[in-house]
Each structure stands twice: as C-alpha cells, then as structure tokens.
Amino acid sequence: MCGIVALFSRRTPVGIETVQRAVQCLRHRGPDGQRHWISADRRVALGHARLSIIDLTIGDQPIASEDNQSWIVANGEFYGYEAIRTELEAAGHRLRTRSDSEIALHLYEDLGPQCLHRLRGEFAFVIWDAANRLLFAARDRFGIKPLFYAIHQNTLYLASEVKALFAAGVPARWDPDNFYPMVELGGYQARTLFDGVFQVPPGHYLIATDAHLQVNRYWDFDYPVADRDGTRRSDEEYKAEFRAVLEEAVRIRLRADVPVGCYLSGGLDSCSVLGLAARHHSDPIRAFTLTFDRAEYDEEAQAREMAARVGAEFYPIPIRQDDLADNFADAIAQSETLCVNAHGVAKYLLSRAVRDAGYKVVLTGEGSDEILGGYAHFRRDMLLYNRAGQDPKVVAKLLEELETLNPVSRGLLLPDGERGSLDDVRRILGFVPSWMETFSSRAIKLRSVLAKDCLAAVDHRQGYRLLLSEIDVLRQLSGREPVHQSLYLWSKTALPQYVLTMLGDRMEMGHSIEGRVPFLDHHVVEVIRSQPVNQKIRGMTEKYVLREAARDTITDTIYRRQKHPFLAPPASLDPQGRLNAFVQDTLRGPTLASIPFLDRAKVIEILDRIDEMDDGGRVANDQTLMFLASVCVLHDRFRLGAPVR
C-alpha cells in the first residue's frame, strides 16, 4: 500500500514544490521512498510515497509504459497479477518492474477503462494518458482504498488523503452542509466534510481532459430480485460454494515479499480469516489482538483460545483509557472524519504495535458484517420485514431478545429514543431500514447542540431523499429482499465512509501497515450476493453460511458466539480517566467556540449533566461527545475555515 498524488492543470505549470509537499504529507503511507514525475509541458504531475510489499528493489513509482506515453501511480494490491503479467508479456508488452501495480498500466493501454474488470484487489490508482491527453483515476469496488479530488484555480488535484490536497494548495474549509448528513446518513457517496473536496465513489472511475470531467460506475452489487435468485440449493451446497471462494481470497492475500500477520478479535470474522490462513501458511502466523480493561469490551480470552486452536503466535496489545487520550487527536487527524467511539484510536494503536513488531501486512475481517448481515440492525430487519409465515408472537419475542442480548448496540446499531421523519424513505423503499432509524435517533441527539443557522438549514433539507437520489433505486433496490436493500445502502455509506476509514485503511496506513480484506474480494461478494437471504441470517443467527463454512477452522466458542461489535470502553464510563478529561477539556476550550455550526452553550450544558447520569445515559451521550471532540481536532489540525458561498 502507498500514497498517491496527481495534479492536472488546464492552464498554468505545476510547481515541483507543490507536488513534493503533497507527497511528503503522505510519507506515513509510504516511508520506503517518495518520488514524482512531471510532464514536459509541466501541466501534469504524479507523485508516489511507497510502502514496499512486492518487488522490494525495483518497484518504484511512477511507472512509465514502454513508449513513455502513459504513466501510473497506484495504491493497493492486485491479486492474481502473475497470470496477467504472463499474458501481457505474451502480447508483446515489456514490463519495467516485477511489481503488481504495473499490470494496471498495460491493461489500460490495451483495454482503456475496461481494464478495471480484469483487476482484483484493494486499489486506487491514477494513469496519465499523454496520447489522448486524458487523466484516468479509479477506486476499488468497495472503497477499501481512498481517493479524493478537488478542482481549484483550473487545476484538478487527486490524492489518497485530504491533507495532501490541502498541502498542495486546495483551501482547507468546512462544508457545514455535509456535517449533519455525515451523522444522520453515514455520509454521501461522493461528498466529504470539506468544502470543494470530493471522493471517487467505490466502484467508480474518473476521466478528466482539458475541458471535461466525469465520474462513471463500473461495478455494483446487483442483488437478485426476490424469488428470482435461481434454483434453491441445499445448505451444504451453499456452504461449500462460499468456503471455496473465501478460502481462495484468504490464500491469495498471503502472497507478499514481507511477513504477513492477522488482526484477531473474539469475533467470527477475524477468527475465520485466521483459521483459513493457517491452513495455507507454513509457519505459525502472528495474531495481533487488542485488549481492554473493562470486561464487557474485552475479547482477549476468545482470541487467545482461537490462536491456540490453529497454532498461531498470540500477540496481545493492552489498551487503556490513557492510551486513547494520548493518541486521540493524532488518530482523528489521520482519519479525516468524525468518530462515534474511540475504537478507531485503538486501531491506530494496534497498527503502531504491528509496525513496531516488524510487520507491514495484516489480514483483517472487515467487510464480513456488510455482506453477511452481521450487525444487529440487519437481524432486526429480517424479523420485521421477512416475516412471512412467522407467528407474530414469536417475532415479537425474538425482537425483545435481540434488544436484551445486544445492550452495547443500543443507540449505536439498534434504534434508541426519538427519531426524525423517515417518510421519504418509506415512500421510496416501502420500508425503513433499521440502521437508518438508528442513525436518525443519533442525529436527533446531535441537533440539540447545533447553532441556530445550521439547525434551520437542517430543518429545510430532506437528507435521506438526497442520499437516495444518488442511488439507482430501480435497478439496485426495487424488488430485492429488504435485508439486501439494507445491506446495499449500508455498503454505500457507512462501509466506505466509516468502517473502512476509521477502522481500516486510515488507521492502518497511519503507521505504514497494509490491511488486506478477504471478505471484500469481489469474487466472494458476488457469490454471497446470489445466495438466499436465509444463508446470511437464520432466526437469531447472523452470518449463517460463514459460521457453517468455517466451523472446522474455528473454536466452538466462536462458532456459538453472537456478534459483538468492536468498541472501546466509552470515555464517560471512566469519569476520572484521561480520555474523559481530554473530551471535557476539548469541548470546554476555545476551539469549539470558533466553529460556526455548533452552539457552545448547549454543549457545555451536556457536559455539566454527565456526572449526574447513570451508565446508560453516559453511554447514550458518548457518541455525541465523540463527534464533537473529533470536530474540534479536525478544526485545529487542518485550520479549517468557513466555506466561501
């Protein structure tokens, strides 16, 4: 994994110092070397910060084609590249490196944007096509790798992180119109928190010329229409199909010229990845596990048992509230987004420990919940909207049981408290996904601290209608199972905007760690999307087909354990701890008072009441306080101004 930068000016020359500043800003993503290339007319520049994983000696970028008419900078991994390399060489291409990144350049030479259908992996890349005077940029199907862009003073800027755009000269300003939707909707597909800064959506590519810019989709989930998903097969057939494709996805991600480890929690996802990886790794795999000092948030016992089951080298990393406090600001600045819990900070510390242990690559379990219905809100959808033939009393009992068994999910993954109007969603979809109810109730809490002007703007906007206007409802949602519709919408918002950012790439690359995500291999996703919804959720059992497919590789404890969301202990549960003190000091300080869309007096009112609340009240308000603390950090670190309107 690496950091990439590209500039395409329509009029004035690109300055070398500008490119160098942007690339240097991404050094944490690529500490093994920073290089750049500028075209002869100085109108195009590509920059690259390299983390050496494959072809450690001659894989430097930017890489040129044989005739020097095309250049590439790439971030990520392309799996199965060896076969494509052989194919390209047989067709007459002369490759300059042994790097997997170079195959994308030559596939583009032959196929143009259709090259994306040949690529498998986690990636974002930019190609300058001099012959056609065209810049081509693309992002992987799920948004595992980030790619941001902005247009400023007739120059197109692209980079792996927003901070590199700011370093190159893009103005650093808030976009208040997107602040509330980030909380209420999980974010839009292309917009960001920052004025004039966009992202190439997952599964899309961007084309820019001197006169034109457009963004096109090249992949989507394409869930089958209900009752038209093919001939029903047996559970054993579905299990075998899923096991085969997942095991292959794990196996190919073990390929590297450096050691590969695994992130391990006490959950089914990471345990399944470790169990399958151990079958294809000659030496014991090192398994890195975060541990916490509150029992209800700690999974060390389950993870340790799993590591012993497969002969992995167990490597626990204890995290305390003081550690979270000391690293909160750095982690949020690295994420460039808002957090709901300090779990992202814990992941930031995890990647640092992995780096200090001498590793650059880890396999992770992210994405499983998004394709297999792992979160509690998907089970609630199954009970509410896939209830044909079920006894209403049984459904009611199961819904009550779901709430009882998932206390840490209330307000985070399950609805809790007052909700805003979701009539637009109900009219368009015919139902309201439970995660939207949850986010709506969370946003209601945030409304109480918004400034009057911001609140008035929020009241006049129909946020969910704006979100659904970005979605091809007819071709991707209409006629699909409600759970599949919920999975689809979650994967367009919370997955790339939060899960793969706050718990994935940004926290890993903050310490130069490459995270590989087998569950988001598109071959795996295309298999599971075609399987019936009851292979994902059966009764109260989530991720049913994975549980059965991986049963021989995991412990009985993990097989029988229900989903437990990865969370750090909330700051407000430890009133004397440094994390709580950090939040209090930050929100009572001068920074919040200078943020125009927040009302400082209302925030102080919540802070003053925290000590009087019981644990339930503190946890319920912790998300709001985490949001606000992360706003303050971003405001300070990037010196964000107000938008120019």
Q: What is the pLDDT of residues 532-543, one digit of tens each?
A: 999 999 988 999
For residue 229, pLDDT beyond 70? no
Name the 3-class secondary structure at 397: helix
Helix or strand or coil: residue 167? helix
Residue 179: per-residue pLDDT: 83
Lowest mean per-residue pLDDT among 255-259, 414-418, 447-451, 563-567: 414-418
pLDDT at 553: 97
Point out the least confidently predicted range of 55-64, 192-201, 624-633.
55-64
* CA dist., res. 25 & res. 3, Å (int): 9
Higher pLDDT: 621 or 210? It is: 210
Band (pLDDT 50/70/90 cuts) for residue 389 is low
- Measure the CA dihedral 556/562/563/567, to 10°: -90
Determine the Cα–Cα distance for residues 453 and 645; give it in Å rounded to an integer.
15
| pLDDT, position 54 | 60
pLDDT grade, residue 228 (50/70/90)? low
Segment 89-117 mean pLDDT:
92
Q: Report all structural domains of the chain as residue ranges with CATH numbers, in order of start.
A: 2-183+194-217 (3.60.20.10)
390 pLDDT higher than 90: no
Full DSSP string of 523-538: HHHHHHHHS-GGGTEE
Q: What are the residues whose beta carbons fall under 8 Å from the beta carbon of 319, sequence distance 6 or more? A: 290, 291, 292, 346, 349, 568
- pLDDT for the residue numbered 573: 87
By the 8 A CB rule, do 119 and 78 touch? yes
pTM of whole model > 0.75? yes
Average confidence (pLDDT) over 396-404: 84
Percent of the chain residues past pLDDT 90, beyond the cut = 73
C-alpha to C-alpha distances, 532 to 232, 345, 518, nearest whole angstrom: 8, 37, 21
Mean pLDDT of 14-33: 93
Tell me, what's the pLDDT at 230? 59
Predicted local confidence at residue 182, as pLDDT:
82
- Rounded to an integer, what distance in angstroms lies between the CA atom of residue 480 and that of residue 493? 19
Helix ranges (DSSP H) in 289-422: 300-310, 321-335, 343-356, 368-372, 376-385, 392-405
pLDDT at 176 over 90: no
- What's residue 222's pLDDT? 97
Per-residue pLDDT reduced to its tens digit, 188-210: 889 999 999 999 999 999 999 99
Section 425-440 average pLDDT = 93
The pLDDT-based confidence of 145 (bands split at 50, 70, 90) is very high
Beta bridge partners of 5: 47, 159
User: pLDDT > 70: what percent of the chain?
Assistant: 96
Report the alpha-carbon distance of residue 326 to residue 68 in Å, rounded: 48
Condensed to tens digits (0 to 9), the pLDDT of residues 277-302 reads 999 998 999 999 999 989 889 999 99
Instruction: Tell whether the model's pLDDT for residue 391 goes beyond 90.
Output: no
pLDDT reading at 56 higher than 80: no
Please calculate the CA angle 35-89-85 and round it to the nearest 5 degrees.
Answer: 60
Tell whether the model's pLDDT for residue 58 goes beyond 70: no
Confidence category of residue 644, pLDDT binned at 50, 70, 90: low
Q: Rounded mean pLDDT of the chain?
A: 92
**Is pLDDT at 458 greater than 80 in this prediction?**
no
Is the pLDDT at 624 greater than 80, yes or no? yes
**Mean per-residue pLDDT for 447-461?**
81
What band does 38 get if pLDDT is binned at 50, 70 and 90?
very high
| Start-to-end Cα distance in the chain | 37
Distance CA(621)–CA(630), nearest Å, equals 15
Tell me how crowded residue 312 is: count the other CB atoms within 10 A of its CB: 24
Residue 150: beta bridge partners? 157, 197
Band of residue 268 on the pLDDT scale cut at 50, 70, 90: very high
Q: Which two tokens stand for residue 362?
A: 């880890």
- Residue 402: predicted pLDDT: 84
Tell me the pairing of strands 34-38 and 44-50. Answer: antiparallel
pLDDT of residue 415: 83
Residue 627 has pLDDT above 80, yes or no: yes
Q: What would the pLDDT profile of 485-531 be if each residue is shown by its tens digit?
A: 999 999 999 999 999 999 999 999 999 999 999 999 999 999 999 99
At residue 608 the predicted structure's pLDDT band, cuts being 50, 70 and 90, is very high
CA distances from residue 207 to 9, 70, 112, 132, 349 in whole angstroms, order as listed: 14, 14, 11, 11, 37
Estimate to the nearest angstrom the gap between the alpha carbon of 587 and the chain centroid.
Answer: 27
User: Which of the four pLDDT bands, split at 50, 70 and 90, describes residue 327?
Assistant: very high
CA distance 203 to 216: 9
Is the model's pLDDT at 187 over the cut of 90?
no
User: What pLDDT, on the 0 to 100 scale, is given for residue 552?
Assistant: 97
Furthest-apart CA pair in the chain: how many Å?
73
Residues 6+ apart with CB under 8 A from 393: none
Residue 642 is predicted with a pLDDT of 74
Residue 57 has pLDDT above 90, yes or no: no
Q: What is the pLDDT, as a whole number, of residue 119?
A: 97
Confidence of residue 48 (pLDDT cuts 50, 70, 90): very high
Question: The tokens of 385 are what?
Answer: 């909207």
